[in-house]
């Protein structure tokens, strides 16, 4: 890849006001991709999105050559929960989210939905990973009933910091989840830079080695998106506290490596950093673009 290849970057945006406002916010920050919650972080359906069809929105994204969308599933979904009813909620809600997003994918806009794989809450990571794979299989079965599975909305498993009993804290855990998914074409991975460093992968000193390890364990062909966050805490701290770009333990030199690594070229890079002022995200997007060689 050359330096002229496009950098798809944007932030996690509010959906208030609906599809049109969402795209306006992306334009305002100078983004070429973005993330949003398909419902409230606690699981309530978003009226602003549900009330209107996303077809016009999708058409504009395609016309403007947007990078892949990385929709973020609400935090409450726990595919590894102890309670069968909790797991069923995650399955039903994710299937419903994918149905809402299907018209966007059908319009030709690459669309991913990112999930936190789940927390095993004491059942052990092996059992947790099995439950998560199981949940994804049930989502796929449900989507196959009305043909939504064919729309091509891919589910991305996020690399986690390893806070509490989170599953997905190592590449091996993510690989074991993928191993249990029957239709492997529906599943990919989001690489969260803060979480990966927090989990004990030294991307600051050896991004190359970490990506090679990712390739060995999971396969770089599964890497579909990046959550670009600096980290408030140090290497292997398992804290999961994002910092603004260049203001944490990763630092600007890491982000320069990130935007110039040919293995990451073309992947959507989503900021999940705090908006300190109205221009924080616009400035961070411009900063990442300026780091391209």
Least separation in angstroms between CB 116 and Zn ion: 5
| Residue number with CB closer to Zn ion (218 or 291) | 218
Nearest-10 crossing angle of helices 55-63, 84-106: 60
Nearer to Zn ion, 107 or 116 (CB): 116
Cβ closer to Zn ion: 125 or 193?
193
Window 226-255: residues binding Zn ion (CB under 5 A): none
Residues counted in the chain: 293
Size of site (CB under 5 A) for Zn ion: 1
Smallest distance, Å, CB 53 to Zn ion? 27
168 CB-near residues (< 8 Å, 6+ apart): 116, 117, 118, 157, 158, 159, 160, 174, 177
Mark the binding-site residues, compressed into ranges. Answer: 72, 116, 158, 192, 195, 227, 240, 242, 272
In the range 121-160, which residues lie near Zn ion by CB under 5 A?
158
Nearer to Zn ion, 58 or 116 (CB): 116
DSSP SS3 for 276: coil
Min dist CB 190 to Zn ion, Å, is 7
| C-alpha distances out from residue 185 to 122, 254, 257, Å | 30, 31, 29
Which residue's structure tokens are 């396969």?
Answer: 219
Which residues does the annotation place in the binding site for Zn(2+)? 72, 116, 158, 192, 195, 227, 240, 242, 272
* Residue of minimal Cβ distance to Zn ion: 158
Task: Report yes or no: 114 and 72 within 8 Å, Cβ to Cβ.
Answer: yes
Q: Which residue is associated with the tokens 């293995």?
A: 263
Contact residues: Zn ion, CB under 5 A: 158
């Amino acid at each position: 890849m050359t330096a002229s290849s496009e950098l798809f970057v944007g932030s996690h945006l509010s959906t208030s006001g609906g599809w049109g406002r969402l795209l306006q916010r992306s334009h305002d920050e100078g983004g070429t991709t973005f993330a949003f919650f398909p419902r409230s972080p606690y699981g309530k359906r978003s009226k602003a999105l549900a009330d209107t069809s996303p077809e016009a929105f999708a058409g504009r994204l395609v016309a403007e050559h947007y990078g892949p969308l990385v929709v973020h599933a609400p935090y409450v979904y726990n595919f590894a929960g102890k309670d069968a009813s909790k797991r069923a909620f995650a399955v039903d809600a994710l299937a419903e989210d994918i149905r809402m997003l299907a018209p966007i994918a059908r319009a030709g806009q690459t669309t991913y939905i990112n999930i936190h794989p789940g927390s095993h809450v004491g059942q052990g990571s092996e059992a947790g990973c099995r439950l998560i794979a199981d949940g994804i299989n049930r989502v796929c079965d449900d989507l196959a009933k009305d043909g939504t599975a064919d729309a091509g909305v891919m589910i991305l498993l996020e690399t986690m910091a390893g806070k509490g009993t989170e599953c997905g804290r190592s590449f091996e855990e993510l690989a074991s989840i993928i191993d249990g998914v029957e239709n492997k074409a529906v599943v990919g991975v989001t690489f969260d830079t803060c979480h990966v460093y927090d989990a004990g992968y030294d991307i600051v000193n050896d991004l190359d080695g970490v990506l090679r390890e990712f390739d060995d364990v999971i396969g770089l062909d599964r890497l579909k998106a990046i959550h670009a966050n600096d980290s408030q805490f140090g290497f292997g701290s398992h804290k999961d506290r994002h910092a603004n770009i260049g203001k944490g333990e990763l630092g600007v030199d890491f982000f320069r490596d990130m935007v110039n690594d040919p293995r990451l070229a073309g992947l959507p890079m989503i900021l999940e950093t705090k908006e300190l002022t109205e221009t924080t995200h616009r400035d961070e997007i411009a900063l990442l673009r300026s780091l391209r060689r």
